[in-house]
Structure formats: C-alpha cells, structure tokens
Chains A and B, each alone.
Chain A
Amino acid sequence: MPHKTFLAFIWPSLLAMILFIALPIISVAYQSLYVEHEQILVVGESCGPFGCTQEVSVDAEAMSQLRADQPAGRFNGFGTYSNASHLATDEISEIFATSENFSEIRTRIMNLPFYKALAFTLAYTFVVTPLVIILGFIIAVVVNSVPSLLKGPVIFFSLIPMLVTPLVGSLVLFWMIDSRGIIGAGLQALFGDPTLSLKASPTLTWITLFVYGVWHSAPFAFVVFYAGLQTVPKDTMESAMVDGASRWERIRFVTIPYLMPLATFIALMQLMDNFRVFEPIIGFSAAASATSLSYLIYNDLRAAESPLFGSAAATSMLTILGVIILLLPVLRRNWREFNRKT
C-alpha cells in the first residue's frame, strides 16, 4: 500500500488517538510533576451548633491569587514519585540500613502502600492470566466436542460471567460467600467450621479475588479459542489421525501450536486488564487485605474531600510504566515473528 493511501485511511483514528489517548497521558504526566501551593492559613474564631473555638482555616483570597498566578501548582519535579506514598526511596534505603535480616526487609517494604498494592497487583496478574488461558482453552475444546444441538445453550451459559458487569458480578459473589450466603454457609458445613469466613482472612480474600478474576475472564479466552478452533486445518488433523495420533496428541501437536498466536493475543489483553484490577476490590470490600495500583489512584481521587491530583497522576504514570514492562516480552516476541514473516 502506498504511504499516501495508508495515511488517508489511518488519519481519523490517528487523530482520535492523539486527542483521547496521547494528550490526556501527557497532561497526567505534567500534573504528576506539580503539587498544591503552600496553603496560607489564618487562625480565627469558628462557631457552630456545638460551640466556638479558635480554629485554623485557609485564607481563600490569598490562595486564589496564588492559583491565578500559577494554575498548575507548585513544581515538585519527581518529588511525588519518590515520596512515602509511591516509590518511597528514602524509606527503602532506611529499611535496608536498619533491618537485621531479609524477612524483616520484606515485611517492612510490604508495609509501604505502593509496594503493598504492587505485590497484590502482580500476584493477581500472574495467577489469573495463565489460569484464564488454560481454563478458556479447556472450555473451548470441550464445547467444540459437544453435540451441535447443545452447542448454542452451552456457549451462552459459558459467556455469562463475561456479560455481567464486573462490579455487579463481584457484588453477587460477595453476598454468596457471606457466612449467611449459599457458598459461605456451604463451605462452613463442608469443613465443619462455623467460624470459617472467606472475608476475614487476607489469604482467603486473595484466593477469592483470584477465583473471581478467573471466573470473570475465562469466557473471553474461551470465545477467542473457540473461534480459533473452527479454523484448525482439517487435512492436517486428518493426516494426524491417519498417522495414529490419539486425541491428546492431536491437541498437543496440532491444535496448540496452531492456536499459539491466539494465546499470545489473550495473554497481552489479560496482562493489561489484570494489571489494572480494580472493581473486585470494591465489590468484595477487600481493601483491608488487598489493594491494587488502580485502587490507590481511586483512593487519591475519591476518598479525601480534596483530591490529590499530583499523587494520583504519579501512580497513573507508574501504572503505565508497569504495563509497558509487563508487555515488553510479549511485544518483542510478536515483533520478531513479524520480522521473520516479512
């Protein structure tokens, strides 16, 4: 295709990408370098229904002058990135200097909010992604061998977890695993332990979130693999059968190599999605035991009365960086394959 024709086709989407993806990211990056102006405080008498006291308040007039002069705030460079709520560089070097052994170092680092969130985010990503691919593949192979009369209903029911809004899905499961819910009460009866609660222990909360993640995303992998299965070349399959390959050998040596590019695609999508895990933490009220990077951003923007834009922006940039690092091996592999073909 001549470059000119290519450009004619691509420019609308290129424009949209610049407007809605590149510019917002640049503005977030810019914001992450700034913090609020120093507040000018005054002390005066404050009264309310419950009495009067001498209280501190912000001198709003003086502040609005400051804001008009420098709307972005006070330049802070990479100060927000290195503070205790993010990479915590000072705290980490202090931990290394004063800790006695490795386990103390680990415990103390895992107590820092960013690393605590990163640990869960990575665990979620690396547990859920492979399980989704494996489970999706198994469902696809099974559904593919179901008699065609049943195929429609089976496919529909397999897709339901993906059709449900993540927040709603996690809320439904949240009430089912409640100690009065069907799953929670069932598990208590099964293990004969009336105090067993999936919501109480951090380990069980992590496992619950992983199970939810697999439940929610497996249908996506299933649909992709199922579509791929329809295009597995019949003649290769038949020659494998003629050569006496068993059903397992056919899957192992024909189907899997043929579907490998699809697995790469699913891995790419799932790594990105799972690294941004957020809804189940809200839905399962799991913040006591599990926080993710996206949850930190949400917390900065929504929990306080006055949002911390700089802090949220810094976490966002670190998340983007994390996604890039995660995807690099997969992208490099794709790039090499592309080069081999051309």
Chain B
Amino acid sequence: MNFHFKSATAASALIVAGGMAFADCGIESGSVRILSNDFEALHAVADWAEKCASDTVEVTRNQTEEHKNIQVPALSIDPATYTVAIVATNSLVPLLNDGLVRPLDDLVAKHGGQLTNSQKIIVDGKIMAIAFMANSQHLFYREDVLAEHGIEVPTTFDEVFAAADTLQAAGYATPLSSNFMPGWNIAAEFVNTYLGTGADFFKPGSAELDINNENGIAVLENMKRMLDYMSPDWATFDSNAQKPVWEAGESVLSLSWGSRAGAYIADDSPAPEVAASTAFAASPALGDNNIPTAALWWDGFAIAKNISDEDAEASFIAMMNGISPEMMAENASAAVWLIEGYEPTKAASGVIDGLGKGARPYPMLPYMGMLHTALGDNLSEYLQGKESAEQALADVTAAYTTAATEAGFLK
C-alpha cells in the first residue's frame, strides 16, 4: 500500500514535470508528424514528443508494425507525409539508399546538447539519425531449473548443449527454444551466430558475399545441432510462438529478443512461478571465439528531407523532448535506453551483458537486407535434413546474387 502511494506521488510529480516541459519545448510553430513501429518504448517516446504540441505546433503520430513498408513511399513525396521516421539499424538503410532523410549536424549543434556521442548515427561523416535505445537477442534461462540440476549458466554453445543433455535426461524433452521460423527470424539467427565467428558477411568494400566458407558451415551445423533439443514444431516458432512454450515450462533455455524480456518477467505474467525464476544473460559464444552470438541493434529517429526547414527544426526539438532523461525516468524498464544517465533494470541485463562481452552490431550495409531475405528463404531445407550445408550456402549465394544484381549492387 505504502509502495503504491509512493509510486503514485512519483508519477504525479513526473506528470507535473512533463507539464512544465510542455512550456519548455521552445518551438515557435511547425508540424511534427511521427511514423514509428508499435511497441511500448516507442509509445513512451511519442507520448513525450506530443507534449510539445501547442496552438501553433501540431504533433501527430502513426504507430504501426507496417512502418517499414510505408516509410519509403511516404517520405518520397514532397512534402513528405511524415517529418520523423523512427527507425532501427536495418530500416534506416532504405531511407539512406534513396536519400530521403536529411543530415542532422546543424540541428544537433543547435538543439542536441543532451545527446551523447554514441547516440549519433554517422554515415559517411554526416549525422543521419539519433539512436535512443538498444536491442539484441540473448539467453533466457530458468534459474530454478538450472540450480535444481546443478547447471551453471552456459556461456558457450558447448555448455548449452551439455546443459540440454542433462535436462533431456531429467525429463525435459525440448529444453531449448529459439526463433527458427523461416523468413526473417531464421535469417536473424544465422546472422547472430555468424557474427559470433568474428567474420564478416561481405568481402571488404564490396557487395560480394563471403559466407560460403568454413564459418558458414560451422554456423549451420551449430543451428542444426540445436534442433536436437528443440520442439519438432521449430519451423513455426517466432517470438510470439515461443513465449507460451516458455510459460508452459517446456523450455529452460531460450534465445530471444531483449525487447521481449520485460514481458517474460512482468507481474501480470500468466505463469507467475516461471516469470519469477526467469533470468537473462548474454548469448552463448560459438567455439572459443568469446563473442556473444547476437547482433546489436539500435532504435532511433531520422528526419525527412522533403519537408520545410521549419518543420524539420520543430520535429527535432519535439523528438529531443521525446527522448529526454525525464521520459526515461518514467519508463526506465521499457527498453535498454542509450540516453545519458540510464540505469539498467533486470529486463535489460541480457542486452547489457552481451554489450559488455563484445557482441557485434548488425551490419548497416545497403545490401544487408537482401542477404537477410536470401538467408530466410534458403536455410530450412538444410535444417530439415533435405540438403547439405554446402548446398544451402550455395542456394543463399545464388538467391542473394540474383537479388543484388537486380538491385544494382552487383554487376
């Protein structure tokens, strides 16, 4: 009761603070139109950007999972439908490729005093976007089950497989789970594991693929070995399908998204005992590379090019309010914030652990999306045992080469 009272006071204090920010935004006039993905942390950012609305400043938003598909056409027209595009590592790339977002150096110099250097996304020497949160996949584990069977939290895949053997012997038929659904998800798993080898996907400075080698094969063999410990329905698992399996207590070790961690341990979880004993750590390393097998992602915002300078300035200032430390104070556990003064919560511990152990970023290359698609379409036959790892990599290479040639990246 006491606690509730305190948090209510704190919340109202923050609302007052927010109300003061309303007057403090300092935008004379303009229109701010936000396009973003649809999840809790981005709602908070948009809510705080909206506090800058006044009689002369209009702030609207469209938060939808379809944002990736509408952003290019919406920002191509003049004036653009949206002034702010909230993007991630991969979804900024098509905007950059088509030159639809503006360099932010002057706006950062004028209004970006609150930003740290690591928040500035610099492409070819110019600030093109501002990052405000990080995300990556990591290990989810059941503290109680591991302790019961005397298993240490695994840090390498060899330890994961040893732990899974022990768990299978103890009656857990499918102790491991991961997002192996063909398409985007399985490609992300390949990318994550491949980054753990320390190798790059492309030959330096070119769009030529460089995964058709022993690293690629090691990654595929590791993925196939995981199947021995996973549900036979692995080909239908994305992060939505994984969560109920976790809550049912069927899996003990899982590789899933950091942005989902909060929901796994939430107070209103349908399986409170499972939620209470769920904990997080960095993704396991592959072999003795000591690099967590997880790509680091950032979420941030970019400002459209085809809008007036006045709207661009208004949008930037509103977004500075959206990603202000005050916003973060109110939503500390909603994300792994990259904002100055961030104190990690339990839900963030997996991502932070991965960052500390040297996980590598998802490559922000113009042709990475095509590789991702080619991987998504061509790995499941190998995993189903219908073709060899070499054939799967050859299929990926063929699909990527065709797409990259059509898109003009390869001759």
Contacts and interface: CB of A to CB of B under 8 A. Distances in A.
Interface of A: 35-39, 41-52, 54-58, 60-61, 63-64, 74, 76, 80, 83-85, 91, 111, 113, 174, 178-180, 195, 197, 199-200, 202, 284-285, 287-289, 299, 302-306, 308, 310-311
Nearest to B122: A47
Contact of B376 (A55, A111, A178, A303): A303
A85 B119 contact: no
Interface stretch (B90-98, B149-157, B309-317, B325-333): B90-98
Contact of B395 (A45, A56, A63, A111): A111
B137 interface: no
Which of under 10, 10 to 19, 20 to 34, or 35 or more describes the interface residues of B?
35 or more
Nearest to B233: A199
A28 to B, nearest CB: 16
Given A49-B296, A57-B365, A179-B231, 7 more contacts: A35-B408, A39-B366, A45-B125, A58-B97, A91-B398, A299-B183, A299-B373
B9 interface: no
A80 B369 contact: no
A76 B360 CA distance: 38
A76 B405 CA distance: 11
Contacts of B235: 199-200, 285, 288-289
B76 to A, nearest CB: 10
B80 interface: no
Given A61-B99, A83-B402, A306 B369 contact: yes
B407 interface: yes
Contact of A306 (B99, B184, B248, B407): B407
Contacts of B96: 57-58, 60
B11 to A, nearest CB: 29
Given A49-B131, A60-B96, A84-B402, A44 B118 contact: no
Contact of B402 (A58, A85, A299): A85
A84 B401 contact: yes
B364 interface: yes
18 contacts: A41-B366, A48-B89, A48-B361, A48-B364, A49-B134, A49-B298, A50-B296, A50-B360, A56-B366, A57-B366, A61-B99, A63-B97, A80-B406, A179-B232, A284-B236, A305-B90, A305-B91, A308-B403
Contacts of A306: 72, 93-94, 97, 369-370, 407
A60 B122 contact: no
B68 interface: yes
Contact of B124 (A46, A50, A74): A46
Contacts of B123: 44, 46, 55, 57
Nearest to A305: B369
Contact of A304 (B236, B248, B369, B384): B369
A61 B126 CA distance: 14
B138 interface: no
Given A46-B123, A111-B387, A39 B183 contact: no
Top-9 shortest CB links A-B:
A60-B99, A44-B124, A288-B380, A305-B369, A200-B232, A47-B122, A288-B235, A50-B361, A36-B408
A267 B377 CA distance: 32
A76 B411 CA distance: 12
A304 B403 contact: yes
A76 B364 CA distance: 28
Interface of B: 68-69, 72, 89-91, 93-94, 96-99, 118-125, 131, 134, 181-184, 205-207, 231-236, 238, 248, 296, 298, 338, 355, 360-361, 363-366, 369-370, 372-373, 376-377, 380-381, 384, 386-387, 391, 395, 398-399, 401-403, 405-409, 411
A303 B366 contact: no
A285 B236 contact: yes
Nearest to B398: A84
A298 to B, nearest CB: 11
Contacts of B91: 305
Contacts of A52: 122
A288 B387 contact: no
B407 A55 contact: no
B181 to A, nearest CB: 6
B403 A311 contact: yes
Contacts of B90: 305
A111 B390 CA distance: 13
Nearest to B117: A47
Give the one of A52, A60, A180 with max B CB within 10 A: A60
Contacts of A174: 236
A85 B378 CA distance: 12
A178 B99 CA distance: 45
A39 B366 CA distance: 10
Contacts of A180: 248
A112 to B, nearest CB: 9
Looking at B119, B125, B232, the one whose CB has the most chain A CB atoms below 10 A away is B232
A45 B122 contact: yes
B288 to A, nearest CB: 23
Contacts of B376: 303
Contacts of A178: 233
Contacts of B402: 83-85, 311
B169 to A, nearest CB: 17
Contacts of A51: 361
B328 to A, nearest CB: 15
